[in-house]
Structures are given as structure tokens and as C-alpha cells.
Structure 1
Amino acid sequence: MNSRFIFFLLLLFGGTQSLAQMVRPHPVPDEFRSTYYEVKVNGQVVPVFHAGLNVYFASFDFTGKADVVVMATYKLAGYSGQTANKEAITIDDKGYWRGEAFVRPLSKNSRPILNGNEVRFALSEAGQYSVERAGTSQYKDDALLLFANRPDANASDLSSENVLHLKPGIHYRNVDLTSGQTLYLDAGAVLFGSINVWDAKNVSILGRGVVVYYGPQSETHDDGWKNQKNWHPLTTHNVEGLTVRGITFVGRSRTWSLQTHTTFDATFDNIKIIAVNPQNINGDGIDWYGGGRTNVINSFIRSMDDCFAFFTPASSQDMWATTKNTAGEVSDITIENCVLWTTLANVFRIGFNGQALTTRNITMRNTDVIHISIGNWFAPNALFCMVSPNSKGQAQHSNYVFENIRFEEPAALFGLQNPESQFSGLTLKNITMSGEPVPSLIKNKTRGVTFENVLLNGKRVGSEADIPLRTGSLPIEQPSWQPTSPLR
């Protein structure tokens, strides 16, 4: 009998305290297993996966409450992926944790207790967590990520001829999925390669496994934007109906992570994206080349560039639009209940170069931005950024809603460098930010921005006048008209 089915029967009929507190650690192949940290949940050892650089994660399914113990051993036993740019660990009288440990997002109120090299805390709900020592922020510092999942109630029929089932272990291959197919990765399965979905309908990528991508991209210049097969952990092109649930994507190359091209009706649920290229650049989270009608929910992104980016559906040779003014639309995107960490750039980047892009009906709700980089590339690192170094990006953006967003580090709200673009209809509601906000830049025509219960470092923002601005910023116009499409 299927082991996952037995597990659900025990959950359904057990009725005891011990069954209510079950933990199912996700196995890790020896090639990726690390002893840098030791993790136990409810007394059970949960193996640690070395994603690359200084980033580690441990994954498990559980019911009830999870009592977690993390021991920092920082033993670099064996070789497990790229190690360039790793921070040299220096231990002083405060110990490895520098005197204080944090479990982020802070909104989950998981208060750790530190005792020497050991950290203890409890989790009462599923989610993605980062266990950090004091001062963690930049990409060279250590990161231990915990991916705490509830058991998957949507069990797949793995015997179907349309299911490609990858069992625990390492699978060295690229996978091309066609209409109606499902790729299922067991917990402990590692696909060392790329997933491609091309000209297809109703495709699913499910399970608790890991995709590790390490491709041939240049380390000295950006060619990770190309829309071609085997160039990202997941690449899509001309797809209608896509479900990705429960999978962890690790990108070790200087390339975008999940790139969707003209893809509609997609759901990304409980996915985890980790970029770990040593250059700390071009490791975007999810990029849209046109398309829309997409939900990103209950997910985690640690990007080495923008978490989300919208572009026109350019050809694989014309991303930079040096020869023509490409046009396209990204619309109806909802991002909800997510945890974000960008080590470079922004939460959103909208349009680029010579793109006549239209974006509309973009919503982000109930999301924690646990870290955001401090840098400057034409505009400050921001929640919402539009840049166009060649000043040809004649884009139109409308109807954006950011609601219940919690910044645990200071950032700018706006980095609008491109004067050729136009923006209208933005609602900022229930936004909090720790620390003094970074001054925003506004150089384009921007109309109809609404602030409701926005608190930056404890200061309430009621209008643009309450936002620190860079020199040269334009005023936000406040016309009497309302957007033609309702804000969601």
C-alpha cells in the first residue's frame, strides 16, 4: 500500500496526541546533505540540504505543533556545491549566533530561546522560516531556511500513464512536459537539471522534491534572461493551465529562476525559490514575459535580483529591445501569503528598455519582506521599480494594490526612473516598515496613489508629502477621476 496513503489514514483515524504531533522529515541525498547545522523537530532529526554558497534548508511535513531545535555546528564536512563568496565565520565571546537569534518572518511570533550554539522555538503553523543570527542581511551571511509543510491533501495517482514519477535520489536530466502531463517529485527526489513546458495545456509539477539547476551561463555578463529550453530551473512558453505545488527550486547559475512566457491560468502554491549564484545578480524569482491570470500563494523567494518582474513577450534574442519597441501585456497577477528576501534589487521590477508594456490588475497581500538589499542601479531598491536606461520604455501601468505588507528592513516605496512610462491607480494599505525608509525616486507621470494606514518607521504616511524623496522627483498627480477597472 502507498506509504503516503497509510500516513493519511493514521492522521485521519489515529485520534491520539502522538499522532496529532507527527513529523515527516524530507530525506536529503548524501551529495547535498550538510552538517553545517543540525535540526530536530519534535525530537526527530531533519536532514539539512546545502543549496549552495551559504544557504541551507531543512524541509518536513508535520501536524499539530512543531518544537524545533537548531544547533549551529558549522562543520564544513565534504564538498556540497559552490562555496565562493561564503562569509568567513568568526566566533567571538558572543558565539556563532552573535548573542541573539531570530526566526523570520517576525509576524509569526516564533520567539527563539538561545542557549550557547542551540536555538529552540515552536511553530504552530505551516510556512517558510529563516533562522538567523544577529546582523544577518546581506547575501554573504549564513541562512538556514525551514520549510514546514502540512501533509499534502491532494495526493496524485502516481500510477497514471500521464505521471512522470521521480523517486528519492538524484535524477540527472532535463524534463520536457506536454499537455496533460504531471511531474511528481517525492520528498528526497532531486532533479539536477531543468523543467521545460512548451506549447502545452493543463500541466502540473507536484510533490515535495527539489530542482537544482546549474547551467552554462556566463559569470561575467547577463544572458540569463533568454527564453529557451534548459536555461532556467523552470521555463514555460505558450502555456495555458499550469499548477506548481510544493517544489523547491535552487538556481546555482547566473540566470532567472522561474521564467514564464505567454503563460496563463497558472498557480504557484507553496513553492520555494532559492538563488545562489556567486555573482549575486540576475537570480530573479519569477519573471513574466507577457501572460497573466496567475496566483502565487503561500510561497518563499530568496532572489539574487528582483523577486518579481514583468516584461513584454520578447523573442529570445531581443530581451534588451535594441532594434525595435516590443509590446505586450502582463495582467491579473495575485501574490498572497508569501515570504520574500531579495539580496539585490527590488520586490517588483516593471518593464525595461524599449518595451511598450502594459500591466494592470496586480495585487500583493499579506506578505513579509524579511530582507531587502541596499544598492543603487538607476533607482533605489524599492517595493515597486521601473527603470529604462535607454528611455524608450513607453509603458502603461494601472490598478495595483499592495495590502498588509510588512517590511522588516528599510527600503524605498518607489524607484520610478523611467520618465517615458505612465502609472495610474495604486493603493497602499496596511504597510509597515522597520527603520528609516530609503528616499523614493519618481520621474514619471504618476496619478492616483492612495495611502491607507501606511507606517514607515512608525510615522504615518497620508500623502506623497510624507515620503522621503530623492532630488529631482516629480509630484504625484491627484486627479478627480477614478480608474476604469476596479481595484482588487
Structure 2
Amino acid sequence: MRLRLGLPPSLPRTRIIMTTHIADGVAQYEYPREAPRSPDYRVRLNGRDETVLTTDAADFIQFEFADATRACAHIEIEASRALGETALRPLSRGVALEALSDRLVRFTLDRPMNLCLDPKGLRPLFIYANPPETGLPERGAPGVHFFEGGRAHDIGELRLRSGETLYLEGGALLRGCVRACDAEGVRIAGRGVLDGFCYAERSERRRSIVFENCRDLAVRDIVMIRPTAWMLVLARCRGARVENIKQIGEVVSSDGIDVVASRDVRVTGCCLRNNDDCLVVKSIAPGYRSGDASHDWSGDVENVVFEGCALWNHRAGNAMEIGHETVTDRIGGIIFRDIDVMRVDGHGAVFSIHNGGRALVEDVTWDDIRVEHHYDKLVDFRVMVSRFSRCDQRGVIRGVRLRNVRVHYAPFNAGYTISLIGGYDATHRVEDVRFENVWIDGQKLTHPDQIELFTRHADHIRFD
């Protein structure tokens, strides 16, 4: 299926952005006073103060390379106390971090990218350096919900209809959630911030953005913070594009991007910090409507690509997950490619398939994956019954490939980190799992003992 990207061509391409300063091709955004500031960091960008916003899980800055042909961002970060051992992740970006003192570091960027300063003893600081913004809607155009930068907007629940666009200008703070149901051609874009914390104040749990039974949809560029539940859900959708989304989730169940019973989905260039599964594929049992769902979220999943993303999974969930809800006939054609796993802090896995339903889960590929940190499990592929199971039948897992994977082991991994591949019984098995060109701290993986792999009801596991 050919996806129509960007905003509707009938909308004028007018640039309207509130900035405090543009220098060396870099634009800074102006935020309202209601946006909470960081008590831990002061940042200077090309010699000017940059606003550092805060959440309970991490702080962040965001700016734009307005002119990519001559962009240069010199960034100095001063912490409120000594930084200790500090990494600038993803390490694959190769950005050199210079320590000027025990509280002051600096680095330079010459192109757009998403990074995370990860110091020992302080909350992380995310740096979202955006590419030039294109394809912008005109304020006041029909079907455009335009929210101005530099202001806080309380939207409650905003429902989008077919052909409508939600645009968050850089520096805008939206408080609420967004829904689209039975719609086509919906767009969400902009460099503003969607804040779900208002529902925590009301003791409600609402998913931040939900698309149900939609076609030809696109979400790009926004920052999502302080959710009370799953952050971005594509449920029974077909033809979806998600690009350059940034998320910081604190609460358990703050899943990042949930692809539920959907087809023809592409997720690229996102930077996700979640306290549950970061990238996840599911199919929920017919008739079971959890939370604020208005439709059944059941059906096969096919042709889903996650690419070029950076992930931080905190204590709940997994970095890249299929399951636990798998009540459908087939989940297949799933690709995770060019992914940086910055951290997996809890008892979840980097690579996980939890087939808790009746599905045939097959044709799943992880390719070009870099793992900087994990703790409890590297691989966890199981056919199982869990508290999320909603049917009595069990399924099968087969045809899984992990190729071109590089994993860093820290001293604490030895004796603690394991891998699991297990079927439910002799009939509902895991079959045909291949590890191809997988490296553990510079040693090629050729034997299951290298990853302390435990198996049950599993066949044809190969190391090439």
C-alpha cells in the first residue's frame, strides 16, 4: 500500500514559528511559563540560554536546524552537582563529549539527531535536535487545529475527523489527549509538546493519542510527556507513518508506540523513554475493551517496520515486544531495523515475543541492532499463559531472525542476565530461530551458553 506522507497538498506551505533566536542556522523555541523548568541543568546553545523542561523521569531541550546547509550547534551543559560517569547516547552517533569540569560538559552537533546525556546520579537530559520543518499548514485553514507556540493550551479530549490536521507550533504546550476514530487522512505534526499530566491530577488514566480504525494517517515531530497510560496507539489502522516522535513516560504502562491489529505501518527516527514496552505489537481479544477504547482492537498484524529509533526501557516492560496480547490468527512481517537500545533497566528483555494468545507469530526480523545496556534478559521468546491472556488456545512462534546485532555486556550481566526460548507444550512450540552475525562484546555468538540460553519445546535454533 502506498502511503501519502506529509500534510494534505491543498494546504499552503507557510512557515509560522515562534523563536527567541536564530543563529548559525539554529532556531530556539519560546515556551510558556506553565511548562515546568529543570532544577538540575542549565544549557547554553551557541552562547545563548536554552530552555530546559523537566518531567519526573527526565529533562529535555529541543531546537531546530532551521538551515541544514550551515547548521552548527555548540552545546554546553552545566549540572547542579557533579555529573560522575556520563555517557552521551546513543553511542553509535559518535558525538564526542568534552568535560570542562565535574559539572560542565560540552559537545557540538552539525546535523539533526536525538541524543541523551546519561549521567550517574542525575536524571537524564534528552537533546532533540530537529531537522528543518517542512510541509506546514496555514493558521486558520479549513480542517487545521493550530496551536500557537509560547502558550499553554488546555484541550481536554480533542477528536480529529477525516482530513483534519493537528499542528503544535514549536514552543506550544498542549494539555490533554487526542482521538481519531473511523477517520482517513488525519495528520498530527509540529515541534510542540503534548502533556498528559492533567489526567493524573483528575485521577484518570487516558492514553495520550489513540487512532482507531483509521487509514492513511501520519504523526511526526511532536514531543510527548507525562502520560497516564499508553502514549501512542494505532488500533485497527491501515497505512500509518510515525516519524521523529519523542516520548518521556514515567508511569508503569506508559507504552511508547503500540501497533494493535494494524497493517502497513512504518515507524522511523523516534526517540522513546518509557516505563513499559517501547515498541510493541499486539492484538487484543474481541469484545475486550480496555480503558478508553471504543472499538474492538483485534485482528491480524502485517507489514510493520520500526526503523532508526533510539529506545530507553525503564523498569516495566521490554524494549521491543510482540505480545502479550496475541488473540488473532497471524502476526507476521514485523521488522525492527537500525535500532539503538540505550538502556533496559528492569526485568524485561531487549528482544521479546510473548505469545499469550492463539496467534501464529512468524516472519519476525531484528536487523542492525545495537544494545548498550540491559540487565535481566537479552532474548525472551515464549508461548505462554499470562494475566493478559484472554483465550484458552495457545499459538506458535516460528521464523525469527536476529542478524547484525552488537551487544555490550557490563560487569553486572555475568551471572544475572539470561535468555529464554520456550514453547507452551509439545504442540505449541517455538521453531526456527536464527542468530546471524550476533556479537557479544566483540565475540561472535556461536553457542547458546554465551547468552545463558534456556530452552523448552523449541526446535531448530541456529547460530551462524
TM range (shorter): 0.7 to 0.9
Q: Which amino acid aligns with 2:191?
A: R
What aligned pairs does 1:145-156 form with structure 2 within 5 A after superposition?
Answer: 145-156=126-137
Change beyond 3 A, Cα 1:219–1:176: closer
- The corresponding residue for 1:424 is 398
Q: Which amino acid aligns with 1:309?
A: V
- Supply the distance in 2 between the matched residues of 1:298 and 1:264 (Cα, whole angstroms): 20
For the residue of structure 2 that corresponds to 1:4, the secondary structure is coil
Change beyond 3 A, Cα 1:239–1:413: same
Match of residue 374, structure 1, among 331, 339, 346? 346
- The corresponding residue for 1:180 is 163
- Supply the distance in 1 between the matched residues of 2:245 and 2:326 (Cα, whole angstroms): 32
- Cα distance, 1:303 vs. partner? 0.8
- Cα distance, 1:271 vs. partner? 0.7
- Supply the distance in 2 between the matched residues of 1:2 and 1:167 (Cα, whole angstroms): 16
What aligned pairs does 1:451-466 form with structure 2 within 5 A after superposition?
Answer: 451-462=435-446, 464=448, 466=450
In the alignment, structure 1 residue 440 sits paired with structure 2 residue 419: yes
Change beyond 3 A, Cα 1:306–1:6: closer
Change beyond 3 A, Cα 1:244–1:327: closer
- The corresponding residue for 2:56 is 53
What aligned pairs does 1:301-316 form with structure 2 within 5 A after superposition?
Answer: 301-314=272-285
Question: How high is the TM-score relative to the length of structure 2?
Answer: 0.82
Change beyond 3 A, Cα 1:461–1:190: same
Match of residue 46, structure 2, among 20, 42, 50? 42
Q: Which amino acid aligns with 2:218?
A: T
Change beyond 3 A, Cα 1:475–1:459: farther
What aligned pairs does 1:243-392 form with structure 2 within 5 A after superposition?
Answer: 243-253=218-228, 255-277=229-251, 281-314=252-285, 317-319=288-290, 328-343=299-314, 344-352=316-324, 355-356=327-328, 358-375=330-347, 380-386=348-354, 388=356
- Cα distance, 1:5 vs. partner? 6.8
- The corresponding residue for 1:483 is none
- Cα distance, 1:207 vs. partner? 0.8
Change beyond 3 A, Cα 1:453–1:249: same
In the alignment, structure 1 residue 4 sits paired with structure 2 residue 25: no
For the residue of structure 1 that corresponds to 2:430, the secondary structure is strand
Q: Point out where structure 2 has 5 or more consecutive residues left out of the alignment.
A: 1-11, 385-393, 424-428
Question: How high is the TM-score relative to the length of structure 1?
Answer: 0.78
- Supply the distance in 2 between the matched residues of 1:442 and 1:407 (Cα, whole angstroms): 19
- The corresponding residue for 2:390 is none
- Cα distance, 1:6 vs. partner? 9.8
- The corresponding residue for 1:22 is 25
For the residue of structure 2 that corresponds to 1:200, the secondary structure is coil
In the alignment, structure 1 residue 171 sits paired with structure 2 residue 153: yes
- The corresponding residue for 1:109 is 94
- The corresponding residue for 2:389 is none
- Cα distance, 1:311 vs. partner? 2.1
- Cα distance, 1:32 vs. partner? 1.6
Q: Which amino acid aligns with 1:172?
A: D
- Supply the distance in 2 between the matched residues of 1:204 and 1:427 (Cα, whole angstroms): 34
- Supply the distance in 2 between the matched residues of 1:350 and 1:203 (Cα, whole angstroms): 26
- Cα distance, 1:448 vs. partner? 2.2
CA contact (8 A) 1:175 1:194 kept: yes
- Supply the distance in 2 between the matched residues of 1:290 and 1:130 (Cα, whole angstroms): 32
For the residue of structure 2 that corresponds to 1:427, the secondary structure is strand
- The corresponding residue for 2:3 is none
Per-residue CA deviation, residues 186-226 of structure 1 (Å, 9 max, x unaligned), is 00111100011111000100111111012557999xx96xx
- Supply the distance in 1 between the matched residues of 2:166 and 2:326 (Cα, whole angstroms): 37
Q: Which amino acid aligns with 2:402?
A: L
In the alignment, structure 1 residue 68 sits paired with structure 2 residue 42: no
Identity of matched residues, %: 25
Per-residue CA deviation, residues 343-368 of structure 1 (Å, 9 max, x unaligned), is 02212332336724521111111110
- Supply the distance in 2 between the matched residues of 1:114 and 1:131 (Cα, whole angstroms): 12
Q: Which amino acid aligns with 2:131?
A: R
